[in-house]
């Protein structure tokens, strides 16, 4: 019993120590475990199943826009990585190198991919000659390795799972349009599938992805008031294609440069789900990404007919398309309830002798703990309505939290005070100078630009720090 009690109860209160709460939830919900290599995770069934659902949702969305899946090698020759100067400079500190094959030293070092722009461009330089070969709209699901110094499960690890989309186009406009299109795909998935709201927009010039002309970012707000860069889409222009001499001949036999994009979403999104929706009892999963949507818990299961009826219900719900399991272990109902809550399963169905007599079950929502009595004749249809209501309510609560943690500041003293008093984002204007941003970051204890706000009127014509004419309004915030 001591082990069972520890499994269910050993979660630090979220508002007491957020970092420890996060670690406790990851551990107790058995999402992942540390491997023998620092910063590399063992993805356990509970965590990997969430990733599989996210992957399936995104993959469907991608393919609806014409994306095709491919797979390119893990190793990149050093000479390829060096072809785009900004790119290699941006990734050099994070690169891991293979120097030997067996006992033999390699003539050229091989980089373990931190990202695959160079591999795609190398391939296209050999296969794209004509306008008929374009566009290339490709994606791959893989893992990448970046030698991070400070690591946390899902949020920042050395090896992580992700998808990286890479596209090549005949025109600047077509590539730019694809960049925005995939950015909107990410926005839709965060809202509709993960039930996570966000602020989004273009990154400041010095915050762009290495080698990109423009980077668009989704910035979600975690419960501790920090921003999490949650997905990005990059427009490269012709920089990478020109570095790899990718040219195509048009209908008039004229030679032209091609234009490239890339876009990525990683298992960091699992960390976002934990930190946006979780509570003191553990994980709270949006139904759309819950590996188990409902757990059936028989009450007084030793009594005649209870387990039999619970298993009939299990079969009915499976046939109706639900991801459902039954807990028919010998543990107490109270322990089973706590475990279901800790694992974040969106609903549980309690069924006991009295329920069977009344031809009903009790459905309990994980997010609100509300109990709903449903007829056994209607449960196969009513449960779907309950799950969709949970999904919608979780999103709306997260929207309320986000909106309640966005403020504005015109003067620097005001900005400092607002970051002291409140967690979240502050809208403020800025001249665009990275040095000013650095001063703001120091004065506020870590707040920097998260993304530019380009669809609203600027609240000031002066930079929040130096007072010079402002070029941008931005969301400022502390981040992971």
**Are residues 352 and 253 part of one domain?**
no
| Residue 434 banded pLDDT, cuts 50, 70, 90 | very high
**Are residues 340 and 459 part of one domain?**
no
**Are residues 430 and 378 part of one domain?**
no
Using the predicted structure, report yes or no on whether residue 456 has a pLDDT greater than 80. Answer: yes
For position 210, what pLDDT does the model report?
A: 86
Q: Which residue among 277, 302, 337 closes a domain? A: 277
**Are residues 335 and 271 part of one domain?**
no
| Residue 285 banded pLDDT, cuts 50, 70, 90 | very high
| Residue 445 banded pLDDT, cuts 50, 70, 90 | very high
The per-residue pLDDT for range 162-208, each reduced to its tens digit, is 999 999 999 999 999 999 999 999 999 999 999 999 999 999 999 99
**Are residues 383 and 298 part of one domain?**
yes
Does 3 reside within a domain? Answer: no
Stretch 384-388: mean pLDDT, rounded?
A: 99
| Residue 7 banded pLDDT, cuts 50, 70, 90 | low
Q: Which residue among 228, 251, 277 closes a domain? A: 277
In this structure, what are the phi and psi dihedrals at residue 405, rounded to the nearest 5 degrees?
-125, 35
For position 109, what pLDDT does the model report?
A: 97
Using the predicted structure, report yes or no on whether residue 358 has a pLDDT greater than 50. Answer: yes
Using the predicted structure, report yes or no on whether residue 268 has a pLDDT greater than 70. Answer: yes
Stretch 315-335: mean pLDDT, rounded?
A: 97
Q: Which residue among 277, 308, 336 closes a domain? A: 277
More confident residue, 6 or 85: 85
- Output the domain CATH number for residue 60: 3.30.930.10
Cα(473)–Cα(168) distance, integer angstroms: 32
Cβ–Cβ < 8 Å for 394, 285: no
How far are the Cα atoms of 159, 201, 211, 285, 325 from residue 193, in angstroms, in the given order?
Answer: 25, 20, 31, 11, 22
For position 2, what pLDDT does the model report?
A: 46
For position 85, what pLDDT does the model report?
A: 66
Does 11 reside within a domain? Answer: no
| Residue 423 banded pLDDT, cuts 50, 70, 90 | confident
For position 440, what pLDDT does the model report?
A: 98
Cβ–Cβ < 8 Å for 285, 259: no
For position 93, what pLDDT does the model report?
A: 86
* Region of residue 369 (left: phi > 0; alpha: psi -120 to 50; beta: else): left
Number of domains in the chain: 3
Q: Structural domain of residue 273, as residue ranges?
A: 20-277
For position 83, what pLDDT does the model report?
A: 85
Using the predicted structure, report yes or no on whether residue 6 has a pLDDT greater than 70. Answer: no
Does 40 reside within a domain? Answer: yes
**Are residues 369 and 345 part of one domain?**
yes
Cα(274)–Cα(366) distance, integer angstroms: 14
For position 184, what pLDDT does the model report?
A: 99
**Are residues 300 and 268 part of one domain?**
no
**Are residues 161 and 236 part of one domain?**
yes
- Output the domain CATH number for residue 388: 3.40.50.800
What's the chain's average pLDDT?
96
DSSP string, 376-437: TTTHHHHHHHHHHHHHHHHHHHHHHHHHTTEEE-SSHHHHHHHHHH--SEEEEEE-S-HHHH
- Output the domain CATH number for residue 418: 3.30.110.30
For position 291, what pLDDT does the model report?
A: 99
**Are residues 336 and 188 part of one domain?**
no
| Residue 233 banded pLDDT, cuts 50, 70, 90 | very high
| Residue 286 banded pLDDT, cuts 50, 70, 90 | very high
**Are residues 327 and 261 part of one domain?**
no
Does 9 reside within a domain? Answer: no
């Amino acid at each position: 019993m001591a082990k069972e009690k520890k499994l269910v109860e050993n979660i630090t209160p979220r508002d007491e120590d957020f970092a420890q709460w996060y670690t406790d939830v990851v551990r107790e919900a058995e999402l992942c475990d540390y491997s023998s290599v620092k910063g590399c995770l063992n993805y356990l069934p509970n965590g990997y199943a969430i990733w599989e659902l996210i992957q399936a949702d995104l993959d469907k969305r991608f393919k609806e826009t014409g994306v095709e899946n491919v797979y390119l090698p893990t190793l990149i020759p050093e000479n390829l990585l060096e072809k785009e100067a900004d790119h290699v400079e941006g990734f050099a500190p994070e690169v891991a190198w293979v120097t030997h094959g067996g006992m033999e030293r390699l003539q050229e070092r091989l980089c373990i991919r931190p990202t695959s722009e160079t591999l795609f461009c190398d391939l296209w330089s050999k296969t794209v000659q004509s306008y008929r070969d374009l566009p290339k709209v490709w994606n791959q699901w893989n893992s990448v390795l970046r030698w991070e110094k400070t690591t946390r499960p899902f949020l920042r690890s050395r090896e992580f799972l992700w998808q990286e989309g890479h596209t090549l186009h005949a025109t600047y406009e077509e590539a730019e349009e694809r960049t925005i299109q995939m950015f909107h795909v990410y926005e839709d998935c965060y809202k509709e599938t993960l039930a996570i709201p966000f602020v989004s927009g273009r990154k400041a010039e010095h915050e762009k992805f290495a080698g990109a002309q423009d980077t668009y970012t989704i910035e979600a707000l975690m419960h501790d008031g920090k921003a999490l860069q949650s997905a990005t889409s990059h427009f490269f222009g012709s920089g990478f294609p020109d570095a790899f001499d990718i040219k195509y001949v048009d209908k008039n036999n004229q030679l032209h440069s091609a234009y490239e994009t890339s876009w990525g979403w990683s298992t960091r999104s699992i960390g976002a789900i934990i930190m946006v929706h979780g509570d003191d009892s553990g994980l709270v999963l949006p139904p759309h990404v819950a590996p188990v949507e409902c757990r059936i818990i028989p009450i007084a299961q030793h009594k005649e007919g209870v387990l039999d009826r619970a298993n009939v219900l299990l079969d009915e719900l499976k046939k109706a398309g639900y991801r459902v399991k039954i807990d028919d272990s010998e543990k107490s109902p109270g322990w089973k309830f706590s475990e279901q809550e800790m694992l974040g399963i969106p609903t549980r169905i309690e069924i006991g002798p009295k329920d069977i007599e009344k031809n009903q079950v009790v459905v309990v929502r994980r997010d609100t703990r509300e109990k709903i009595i449903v007829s056994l004749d209607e449960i196969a249809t009513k449960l779907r309505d309950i799950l969709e209501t949970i999904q919608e309510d979780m999103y709306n609560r997260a929207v309320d939290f986000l909106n309640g943690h966005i403020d504005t500041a015109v003067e620097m003293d005001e900005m400092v005070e607002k970051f002291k008093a409140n967690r979240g984002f502050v809208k403020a204007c800025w001249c665009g100078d990275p040095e000013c941003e650095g001063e703001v970051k120091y004065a506020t204890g870590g707040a920097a630009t998260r993304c530019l706000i380009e669809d609203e009127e600027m609240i000031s014509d002066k930079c929040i720090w130096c007072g010079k004419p402002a070029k941008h309004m931005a969301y400022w915030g502390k981040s992971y």
